[in-house]
Amino acid sequence: MARRQTATLRTLRPVPPVWEIRLDLEYAPGAGSYVLADLGGPVREPLFPSVVDDTGFCTIVPRGHAVTRYLPGTPIDVIGPLGQGFRLSAAGYVPDRLLLIAEVDELPWLQPLYQAAPSVALVVEATTRGRLPPPARFPPTLELTLVTRDGSTGYLGPLESDGPTPVGIECALPRVRELVAWAECICIAGDMARYPALARLVQEVRFRPQTDFAQALVRVPMPCGVGVCDICRVTTRHGERRACVDGPVFDLMDFLE
């Protein structure tokens, strides 16, 4: 049975081009899971955590999002935590070496995992240098790999591509393969259309990875959150699944074609 709670909007902070919202909440969602918030619209809005602590969580929303119209101190009716988030102990132990891979717009949803293992490596991909956060914004404990689609900084993306590389620029793929071989667990947040190619990459390096060795977050509209409306269906190799209850974090290998 889904839990109903009252969150309190604590702070709203512009972090151009988005807003960071802090909500106090007794039972906050973990990385990759979410709550559905009643923000006065026709359907509830899913809110994913970018920071989780003992008193609540932060989330990131676009400019103009319904929650930005509320004032600090406003109570908000939420349902959740909902869904299957990232499962770091899937193998029965907490991994020592965790690899995080994100497209820059989806990076907030991996932030709660920055300290989740003794060694954490992060690969972030953006279209160009100006879209990447400055390296100083990342915790120094992270082993950071930057990738740009135009080669303006870091490695040349896309990270799953083995296309031709201009002289003097290093392609991301060999570095990503190295990290996939190093990792005990991989968590990914990006465009779902890329997951089949990333699943092939992981399979090539690890041959037969165990269940949940690599996990991927799928973010699609989830109006009901409890498996009733069927709007959040995603196609996997096991057939159609509902992101709201079967995910939104899936085994990456479910997207192998």
Candidates 91-99, 112-120, 137-145, 224-232; binding stretch for ligand FES (CB under 6 A):
224-232
Q: What is the DSSP string of 151-189?
A: -SSSEES-TT------TT--BHHHHHHHHHHH-SEEEEE
219 binds ligand FES (CB under 6 A): no
Are residues 236 and 218 in contact, defined by beta-carbon separation less than 8 angstroms?
A: no
Tokens (6 digits) for 189: 């947040």
For residues 45-104, which are near ligand FES according to CB under 6 A?
Answer: none
242 binds ligand FES (CB under 6 A): yes
Candidates 94-102, 117-125, 193-201, 218-226; binding stretch for ligand FES (CB under 6 A):
218-226
Give the count of residues interacting with ligand FES (CB under 6 A).
12
CA atoms within 13 Å, Cβ hemisphere of 26: 8
2 binds ligand FES (CB under 6 A): no
30 binds ligand FES (CB under 6 A): no
Nearest Cα residue to 73 out of 8, 168, 151, 127: 8
Query: Of the two residues 146 and 222, which places its CB atom closer to ligand FES in the complex?
Result: 222
Give the DSSP H or E segment for 212: none
244 binds ligand FES (CB under 6 A): yes
194 binds ligand FES (CB under 6 A): no
Residue from 37, 232, 234, 249 binding ligand FES (CB under 6 A): 232
* Closest distance to ligand FES from the beta carbon of 246 (Å): 9
Q: How far is CA 69 from CA 19, 37, 40, 230, 242, in A?
A: 11, 14, 10, 29, 30
What is the spatial distance between Cα 176 and Cα 87, in angstroms, rounded to a whole number? 21
- Taking each helix axis as running N to C, give the angle between helix 195-206 and helix 172-182, from 0 to 180 degrees, rounded to the nearest 10: 60
* Closest distance to ligand FES from the beta carbon of 177 (Å): 35
Candidates 67-75, 121-129, 186-194, 227-235; binding stretch for ligand FES (CB under 6 A):
227-235
Q: Where on the chain is the footprint of ligand FES (CB under 6 A)?
A: 222-225, 227-232, 242, 244
